[in-house]
């Protein structure tokens, strides 16, 4: 099974910098929340922006509605 790339918490230019380094994400999460964590699978690459890994949001955000 192929590894998926997740971007968490990216805004603006930092997104483009990460995409140059890791390639385009398979999943984009605006926030780190329980919904995002449930989508992380063993072996996936999870890239956090500016401390996003330290801020767990209490409420889930449906990122899929944005795309």
51 conformational bin, left if phi > 0, alpha if psi -120 to 50, beta if neither? left
List of residues 6+ apart from 44 with CB closer than 8 A: 3, 4, 5, 6
**Domain ranges (residues) in the chain:** 5-57
| pLDDT tens track, the chain, 67 positions | 689 999 999 988 899 999 999 999 999 998 898 889 999 999 999 999 987 677 777 766 665 665 5
Could you write out the DSSP letters of every residue in 20-67?
HHH-S-SEEESSEEHHHHHH--TT-EEEE-TTGGG-EESS---GGGG-
């Amino acid at each position: 099974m192929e590894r998926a790339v997740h971007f968490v918490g990216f805004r603006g230019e930092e997104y483009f910098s990460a995409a140059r380094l890791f390639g385009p994400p398979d999943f984009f999460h605006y926030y780190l929340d329980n919904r995002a964590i449930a989508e992380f699978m063993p072996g996936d690459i999870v890239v956090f922006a500016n401390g996003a890994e330290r801020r767990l949001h209490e409420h889930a955000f449906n990122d899929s509605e944005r795309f």
